[in-house]
Structure 1
Amino acid sequence: MVSIEENCHGGFLQTFAWKVGTNEAALRLIISIFAGYPLSIFLRDNLHGTSATTKHLFISTIGLAICYFNYGMDTGYLFFCSLFNYILLFLVGGTGSSVIISFLFNLGYLLVSYAIFASNDYDMNWTTPQCILTLRMISVAFDLYDGHKPVEKLSSEQKSLCFKESPGLLEIVSYSFFFGYLLTGPQYPLRQYRDYMDGKLLDNESGKPSDTLQPAMRILTIGMIYFIIEILLVPSFPATYLVTEEFAQSSFLYKLFYICLFGRFTINKYVTFWLISEGVCILSGIAYSGKDKEGKAKWTACSGIKPLAFETALSVRDMVATFNISTNTWLARYVYKRLKFLGNRYISQIVSLLFLAAWHGLHIGYYNNFILEFFIVMFDVQATELFTKVPILNNISQHRLMSLVKLVVLKFCMLLFMGYPLVSFVLLKWSKIHLVYKEVYYIGHIFFVILWPIFSFGVIIPWFKTQKLKSKEKENAKTK
């Protein structure tokens, strides 16, 4: 452990980080993200109307400098990944082979990086932007491949994202190291990036820079609220408390309540960084996503979360739909939908979640988290359908005297269903994870993974099929 004396004799950032109660890596990350605001203003106002090459040079230089500021010579690992993908697409881009090679190389490169550089805790090193870059490079190979397929075989989404021209070296480096999404995401399609470089993503028809200050400051303000919560409240719910004797000696209900709050505050840091980074993207103009029905500009292309919808969510499905939006969209677009040939949505979902687990790292905690998420979402969907279609349950849930009880119960359950898997996501090692789950008798695993699937496949699904059959028979009887 680093002593106080060693900290005081370290560099300025190291010393300052220690004084404000954080570490140097986190401080460098925060500085880098906030630096995106003046950089975005310069890009928007001073480079507007210049050539794409000029913008690529500026973005590449700044992005590499930010990377070096955070990760030093390890920046070379990220640059090598971009270089490899450029060569791959230059040689065989647009073919099925390029997609397979890209997928295997980028995911393999990431997993090997985890194996070499990962520790037993959450790491703030170059593998963080690398995991974001991994998805970005895979998407480029897919979209280029789609661009070489017959148009009639493409979905409307694929048509809007595909392209035929392989990216140049400067372009792919710029695309990889754009400072708005370099360190924390979100995912952003290359075709839209090209539109931005060509000055097509504007909220006006006069050709002037977009008026992005107000929407950017609105998102930044929300992000700063989460940032303040991160500083003031989150330290009160540390993961380390879960493996203490004090937690073990507390009551069962208290343990569940703490897991609820722990889970909620654990994801606060992700929300914070997503919102602040989204503000950078909006300010630069790259987040422009067209206009709504009223003709107002939308700035949602780089959204990582919908704060209001997330905070008011009363089900796991609603929470998932509003959280980590760009990654979930990427997963659906390039993994889940591409597995349609399997003919089974459950298998596609499991494979997608296993990919997501591997993308996060090699620790067993990630896999446990996402497998639990699969079963919890399945329960959430089926339980909601039961309360909708079974008359007695529907009547009880809709009774006006049950409204407040329903609100409290649903919110508690949603927080518990979110927090329970996150225990393993944060603690990572099974030796630690087991200490927590055994204190709550593995209640989540027993109910969601064992009891509910048995009840679901033995009772619920057959009942739904019977009801559908009866409905068809009634409809047929009416038509005769």
Structure 2
Amino acid sequence: MDDRVIQNGILFSIAQAIGAPEQALRLLVSILLGYPIALFNCFYLRHKSAIVQHLFFTITGISIGFFNFGWDIGHSFGCVLVQYLLIKILSGTRICVALSFTFHMTYLLLGYYQTGTDTYDIKWSMPHCVLTLRLIGLCLDYYDGRKKPDQLNAHQKKMALVEAPSLLEMCGHVYFPGGFLVGPQFSMKRYLDFTNNVYEKESGDIMQCIKPGLIRAGLGFFYLALYQVASNFISDAVITSETFYEHTFIIRVVLVGLWAKISLYKYISCWLLTEGVCTMSGLTYNGKDDKGRHLWNGCANVKLRVFENATRFGHLIQSFNLNTNAWVAEYIYKRLRFLGNRSLSQAIALFFLAAWHGLHMGYYVCFFMELIVMLFEKDMEVLAAKNPAIHKVFNNPTLAPVRWVIGKLYVFCFMGYCLAPFTFFSDYWSIYGSLYYMGFVVFLGWRFIAPFLLPRLIPRSPRSAPPSEEKAPEELDQLKKKQ
């Protein structure tokens, strides 16, 4: 019998025993394989030449990809080869950037069209979305490297590539086992500094990375266990069952809120586990803090304290999928500055994020919700700053616990509403109906009344007096004498 068939049988049996899909278990096993790979590199290869490390990461990464997707791994290698040829032929020009962006996004969307179903599937197109951002970012970094330093912002100066990377360097960057499947995103500059032992010299001893890597791994297992246990009580099936619609409105809101929180733990656990691999390899070195302690958070993808204590959706965005959000901010949003409109740039960036996730309309609804929620919170911040009565309430220290409770309830009640389209590609309208479309009523409704209500709630600043009237009488007398 074929070894792969036996392997599939073993994985299938384990998946059945723990109540998880076989594809998800295969993905988890692949992420965990990154730990012995990282340790082997840390103990035996870190002082070897960069070429040896590139080969090691390429071979191990492709092997993990083949373990998950078989010969479909060829899609990623083909795109790496195309990107290499584009850079070689067109160098770091605008047309190279335009062709790179167009090719990779088109290929990704065609991949979604070919592999997409009515459920979230773990197929070759899943890691391909990570690869797409990595290759587009690489091209833009090389484009920046050919500009004058005074034309670049701080981030671009840090990530710019003066020389075109080799095909082997590109493969090592793309197939690095700690970031190939589900991220995190990291630049070619970071990868090259890592393989050229820059971080070894800066940290003094790269082996310091093992302890923080184990801590992130431990947190990853904790959230994975939390998700596995909690999802037995509130799963996707509970939210889409007939029984769900028989509950009262308040109970439905609570159930959707709990479901959303539990669902996000699934993503958090994966990101923490992959971050642990990157950290344990030494890739995440990030200089020193203000106390002189070495930091290993260069690829951190989630801020747990901010996430768990979120009292507004802005906190969730600041703490969740950090590297992808940072990538979109630097390579899409900030490069749309020429439009001269922040709201338009934000809308385009969120549309890009939706398309990058897939073709299902639910993604676009989800990121549309993010847009109108963030605009709502921005208006609330303006009110809290400029309306005297509201400002007084928000800055009253005795009301801080009340504000915290209200903020937690606000996030809890609406988080599930915003997340439902992201998960339920065809059933989210039924869920929306069961919640009486409360998210649209509050956030979209606010957009219609804000132009009329905000000017009434924000007092006009008094006109400044003419310069002569603002001066003290003594100064006026002196001026008259001089005249």
TM-score where L is the length of structure 2: 0.92
* Distance change (3 Å), C-alpha of 1:478 and 1:455: farther
Structure 1 Cα separation of the partners of residues 143 and 133 of structure 2: 15
Structure 2 Cα separation of the partners of residues 292 and 10 of structure 1: 46
Q: Is the CA contact (8 Å cut-off) linking 2:227 and 2:263 kept in structure 1?
A: no
* Distance change (3 Å), C-alpha of 1:220 and 1:96: same
Structure 1 Cα separation of the partners of residues 392 and 342 of structure 2: 31
- 1:3 is aligned to none
Structure 2 Cα separation of the partners of residues 371 and 16 of structure 1: 39
3-state SS of the aligned residue for 1:231?
helix
2:447 is aligned with 1:453 = yes
3-state SS of the aligned residue for 1:298?
coil
- 1:444 is aligned to 439
- 2:476 is aligned to none
In the TM superposition, 1:287-298 aligns within 5 A as 287-298=284-295
Aligned residue identity for 1:227: L
Alpha-carbon distance, 1:284 to partner:
0.2
- 2:131 is aligned to 133
Alpha-carbon distance, 1:400 to partner:
5.7
Q: Which residue of 246, 250, 253 maps to 1:249?
A: 246
3-state SS of the aligned residue for 1:211?
helix
3-state SS of the aligned residue for 1:267?
helix
- 1:415 is aligned to 412
Alpha-carbon distance, 1:237 to partner:
1.7
3-state SS of the aligned residue for 2:207?
coil
Structure 2 Cα separation of the partners of residues 259 and 18 of structure 1: 26
Alpha-carbon distance, 1:210 to partner:
3.4
Name whichever of 94-103 and 155-164 sits farther off. 155-164
Structure 2: gaps of 5 or more residues: 473-483
Alpha-carbon distance, 1:376 to partner:
0.5
Encode CA deviations 1:9-40: one digit per residue, 9 max, x unaligned: 96221122112211221111111111111111
Structure 2 Cα separation of the partners of residues 98 and 9 of structure 1: 43
Structure 2 Cα separation of the partners of residues 474 and 162 of structure 1: 50
Q: Is the CA contact (8 Å cut-off) linking 1:9 and 1:15 kept in structure 2?
A: no
Q: Which residue of 348, 363, 367 maps to 1:366?
A: 363
Structure 2 Cα separation of the partners of residues 321 and 29 of structure 1: 26
- 2:200 is aligned to 202
Alpha-carbon distance, 1:401 to partner:
5.8
Structure 2 Cα separation of the partners of residues 413 and 113 of structure 1: 37
Structure 2 Cα separation of the partners of residues 54 and 315 of structure 1: 47
Structure 2 Cα separation of the partners of residues 386 and 52 of structure 1: 54
Structure 2 Cα separation of the partners of residues 260 and 61 of structure 1: 43
Q: Is the CA contact (8 Å cut-off) linking 1:316 and 1:417 kept in structure 2?
A: no
In the TM superposition, 1:314-329 aligns within 5 A as 314-329=311-326
Structure 2 Cα separation of the partners of residues 94 and 307 of structure 1: 38
2:278 is aligned with 1:281 = yes
Structure with bigger gyration radius: 2
Alpha-carbon distance, 1:86 to partner:
1.0
- 1:164 is aligned to 162
Name whichever of 144-153 and 395-404 sits farther off. 395-404
Aligned residue identity for 1:439: S
Encode CA deviations 1:283-328: one digit per residue, 9 max, x unaligned: 0000001111111111111111011111111111112111110000
Structure 1 Cα separation of the partners of residues 137 and 344 of structure 2: 22
Alpha-carbon distance, 1:167 to partner:
1.4
Aligned residue identity for 1:329: A
2:304 is aligned with 1:307 = yes
Structure 2 Cα separation of the partners of residues 289 and 474 of structure 1: 51
Structure 1 Cα separation of the partners of residues 337 and 7 of structure 2: 58
Structure 2 Cα separation of the partners of residues 479 and 48 of structure 1: 70
2:347 is aligned with 1:347 = no
Encode CA deviations 1:392-449: one digit per residue, 9 max, x unaligned: 22334455664433222210101223221111111012xx121111112111112211
How many matched pairs? 467
Q: Is the CA contact (8 Å cut-off) linking 1:93 and 1:141 kept in structure 2?
A: no
Aligned residue identity for 1:456: A
Q: Is the CA contact (8 Å cut-off) linking 1:342 and 1:348 kept in structure 2?
A: yes
Structure 2 Cα separation of the partners of residues 293 and 282 of structure 1: 20
Structure 2 Cα separation of the partners of residues 126 and 322 of structure 1: 27
- 2:481 is aligned to none
Encode CA deviations 1:189-225: one digit per residue, 9 max, x unaligned: 101111111100137565x433112111111121121
Alpha-carbon distance, 1:107 to partner:
0.7
- 1:40 is aligned to 38
Q: Is the CA contact (8 Å cut-off) linking 1:204 and 1:210 kept in structure 2?
A: no
3-state SS of the aligned residue for 1:334?
helix
Structure 1 Cα separation of the partners of residues 20 and 98 of structure 2: 41
Structure 2 Cα separation of the partners of residues 69 and 462 of structure 1: 62
Structure 2 Cα separation of the partners of residues 80 and 152 of structure 1: 36
Q: Is the CA contact (8 Å cut-off) linking 1:260 and 1:412 kept in structure 2?
A: no
2:331 is aligned with 1:334 = yes
- 2:383 is aligned to 386
Structure 1: gaps of 5 or more residues: 1-6
Alpha-carbon distance, 1:239 to partner:
2.2
Q: Which residue of 464, 467, 479 maps to 1:473?
A: 464
2:354 is aligned with 1:357 = yes
CA RMSD of aligned residues (A): 2.0
Q: Is the CA contact (8 Å cut-off) linking 1:203 and 1:288 kept in structure 2?
A: no
* Distance change (3 Å), C-alpha of 1:479 and 1:61: farther
In the TM superposition, 1:199-238 aligns within 5 A as 199-202=197-200, 204=202, 206=204, 208-238=205-235
Encode CA deviations 1:244-274: one digit per residue, 9 max, x unaligned: 2222121111111112111111111110000
3-state SS of the aligned residue for 1:201?
helix
Aligned residue identity for 2:196: D
Alpha-carbon distance, 1:163 to partner:
1.1
2:82 is aligned with 1:107 = no
